[in-house]
């Protein structure tokens, strides 16, 4: 075991964050009735209440109101049409509403300053808060789940950052793909498969149309799938300068020639992201391996649920009159059953609802309840996916596009480390335990991943590694920040951590650095470290006031 501590320790309590020049009060408030929808008129970017409820008017007239709109965000299933997002000039508005307008409202929650660091485009769907959603009125809460508004605060992508979609047949005249998409090879996949996957990864945002993708200001090179032996279509994209390539397709055979090509692309600075496959656990039991997902230097993505906070929020009744729950946050698979059907206790995830999991899986992303943009563009239908792993990898692909847009010089061999250290640990969910060791580092969090890039490469900031328990994988990170704080974190067994910081590394509470003979911990201070290029922050950062930029 190698333990190399060439560092000095600074034990400083607390962390400092960049503060915002924003004194507005943000909060959520829940109405008692789904029919409640107060009327306002807008004057000089402020809202004036014009309804006929005298008690509500008496409260609102004493405050300045900037936003008062319904949102799906932070709303349980039963409260989807009762939850409002409010921006005013004073925190006291919330307490006054709950006290003096108690006939209308029943619950409220202030939004803390750090949680205000978000940006929402104007086609963000039904969970949007600031401004008007002029896109399709559909539920895009899976973007909330992976923290994209927090990521977009820093960057919305760059036209110079090209995302490769290797399974994409795209209508380049559609406004969400027009003027940003180049078709390198026509895809053989039919039925709109490429439309939906590309939309999730990089569909254009903030254009007042349709829906959007994770890295919505990134460019797209589209090609076909297949050539499992030589991956010629992927190598072509890498040679064209594509930094991340999405593979929402699988093959069942290993080819050394394919691994050699992937190694070449990785050395050329290209990351491959691939869906893990659709074979359910009841048949595969973690032993079924698909490619390219399971090759070295490929980030393999499987499915996780994203919507409801707890099982009790979405209990359903099957055709066979059995109770079950679906789409519960951070549960693998799709549906949750109950071994004790009388009391709805002893939760267990149905193996047949779990798409391919194995030890090659690196991270999880949503796959159920996603808006199918292809159905809308081809047939004018509003539909949501039932279950498929094809839609999981585009979330990760788009996130990597954002990461590299923010800091184009990010070392490619550190991308996976950042994704995993910022993922949501789901080991504590009892129903997930039968699948432990087969679902990677947990659920993707794009917001934390992009923020980590900013913190790692910004002087005066603190980059934090926390809340994970790693017993495998190799982690490599470089930091130019004021310090790196490691807290509530474990690196054990065969895991390795190679961390080089310019200034300081702080080992905080509940940190365990105890690998076995197969692992290692190397912590180094190198004052000579310098940026290879500048952070590319989106226009208006950080004083963007969270409102849509004028078009």
Collect contacts of 114-119 with beta carbons under 8 A, ≥24 apart. 114/17, 115/26, 116/20, 116/22, 116/26, 116/546, 117/20, 117/150, 117/153, 117/542, 118/149, 118/150, 118/152, 118/153, 118/546, 119/149, 119/152, 119/153, 119/156, 119/538, 119/544, 119/546
Min mean pLDDT across 5-19, 190-204, 312-326, 525-539 is at 5-19
Model pLDDT, residue 152: 97
Q: Give the DSSP H or E segment for 379.
A: helix 373-379
19 pLDDT band, cuts 50/70/90, is very low
pTM of structure: 0.92
Q: How far is CA 289 from the centre of its chain?
A: 25
As a whole number of angstroms, the distance between CA 484 and CA 363 comes to 23
Over residues 219-248, the pLDDT tens digits come to 999 999 889 999 999 999 999 999 999 999
CB-based contacts of 299: which residues, under 8 Å, 6+ apart? 271, 272, 273, 274, 362, 363, 396, 400, 415, 416, 419
As a whole number of angstroms, the distance between CA 274 and CA 294 comes to 9
CB 508 within 8 A of CB 484: no
Over residues 57-86, the pLDDT tens digits come to 999 999 999 999 999 988 888 888 899 999
Model pLDDT, residue 47: 96
Model pLDDT, residue 415: 98
Which range among 164-173, 240-249, 333-342 has the greatest average pLDDT?
Answer: 240-249
Residue 548 has pLDDT above 50, yes or no: no
Q: List beta partners, residue 68.
A: 86
Model pLDDT, residue 543: 67
Residue 399 has pLDDT above 60, yes or no: yes
In the block, tokens 């055709």 appear at 319
Residue 331 has pLDDT above 90, yes or no: yes
Collect contacts of 323-331 with beta carbons under 8 A, ≥24 apart. 324/350, 326/368, 327/368, 327/369, 329/145, 329/305, 330/304, 330/305, 330/306, 330/424, 330/426, 330/429, 330/432, 330/442, 330/443, 331/304, 331/305, 331/426, 331/429, 331/431, 331/432
Residue 15 has pLDDT above 90, yes or no: no
Between vectors from CA 270 to CA 266 and to CA 274, what angle results, nearest 5°? Answer: 90
Q: What is the mean pLDDT of the chain?
A: 91
Over residues 533-544, the pLDDT tens digits come to 999 999 888 865
Quick one: average pLDDT of 81-106? Answer: 95
Model pLDDT, residue 56: 97
Higher-scoring residue by pLDDT: 22, 536: 536
Quick one: average pLDDT of 195-203? Answer: 95
Over residues 30-47, the pLDDT tens digits come to 999 999 999 999 999 899
Model pLDDT, residue 5: 35
Quick one: average pLDDT of 362-389? Answer: 90
């Amino acid at each position: 075991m190698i333990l190399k501590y060439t560092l000095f320790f600074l034990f400083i309590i607390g962390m400092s964050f960049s503060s915002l020049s924003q004194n507005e009060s943000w909060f959520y408030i829940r109405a008692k009735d789904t029919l409640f929808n107060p009327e306002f008129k807008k004057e000089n970017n402020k809202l004036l209440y014009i309804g006929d409820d005298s008690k509500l008017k008496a409260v609102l007239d004493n405050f300045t109101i900037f936003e008062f709109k319904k949102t799906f965000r932070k709303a349980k299933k039963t409260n989807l049409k009762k939850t409002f997002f409010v921006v005013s000039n004073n925190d006291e508005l919330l307490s006054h509403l709950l006290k003096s307008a108690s006939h209308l409202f029943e619950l409220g929650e202030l939004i803390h300053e750090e949680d205000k660091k978000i940006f929402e485009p104007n086609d963000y769907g039904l969970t949007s808060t600031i401004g008007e959603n002029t896109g399709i009125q559909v539920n895009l809460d899976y973007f909330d789940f992976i923290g994209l508004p927090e990521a977009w605060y820093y960057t919305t992508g760059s036209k110079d950052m090209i995302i490769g979609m290797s399974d994409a047949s795209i209508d380049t005249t559609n406004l969400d793909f027009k003027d940003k998409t180049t078709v390198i090879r026509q895809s053989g996949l039919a039925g709109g498969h490429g439309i939906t996957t590309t939309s999730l990864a990089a569909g254009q945002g903030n254009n007042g149309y349709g829906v959007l993708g994770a890295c919505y200001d990134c460019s797209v090179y589209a090609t076909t799938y297949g050539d499992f032996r030589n991956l010629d279509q992927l190598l072509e994209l890498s040679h064209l300068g594509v930094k991340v390539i999405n593979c929402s397709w699988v093959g069942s055979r290993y080819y050394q020639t394919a691994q050699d090509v992937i190694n070449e692309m990785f050395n050329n600075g290209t990351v491959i992201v691939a869906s893990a496959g659709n074979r359910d656990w009841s048949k595969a039991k973690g032993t079924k391996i698909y490619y390219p997902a399971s090759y070295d230097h490929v980030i393999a993505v499987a499915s996780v649920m994203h919507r409801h906070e707890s099982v009790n929020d979405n209990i359903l009744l099957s055709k066979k009159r059995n109770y079950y729950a679906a789409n519960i946050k951070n549960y693998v698979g799709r549906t949750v059953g109950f071994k004790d059907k009388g009391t709805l206790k002893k939760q267990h995830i149905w193996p047949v609802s779990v798409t391919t999991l194995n030890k090659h899986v690196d991270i999880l992303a949503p796959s159920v309840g996603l808006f199918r943009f292809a159905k809308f563009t081809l047939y004018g239908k509003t539909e949501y996916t039932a279950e498929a792993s094809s839609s999981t990898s585009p979330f990760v692909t788009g996130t990597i596009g954002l990461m590299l847009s923010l800091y184009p010089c990010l070392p490619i061999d550190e991308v996976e480390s950042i994704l995993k250290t910022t993922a949501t640990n789901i080991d504590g969910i009892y129903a997930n335990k039968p699948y432990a060791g087969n679902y990677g580092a947990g659920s993707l969090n794009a917001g934390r991943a992009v923020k980590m890039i900013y913190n790692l490469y910004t002087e005066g900031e603190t980059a934090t590694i926390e809340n994970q328990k790693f017993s495998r994988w190799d982690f490599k990170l470089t930091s130019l920040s004021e310090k790196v704080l490691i807290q509530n974190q474990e690196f054990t067994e065969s895991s390795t951590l190679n961390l080089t910081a310019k200034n300081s590394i702080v080992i905080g509470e509940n940190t365990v650095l105890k690998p076995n003979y197969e692992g290692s911990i190397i912590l180094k201070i190198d004052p000579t470290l310098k940026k290879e290029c500048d952070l590319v922050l989106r226009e208006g950062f950080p004083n963007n006031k969270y409102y849509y930029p004028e078009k």
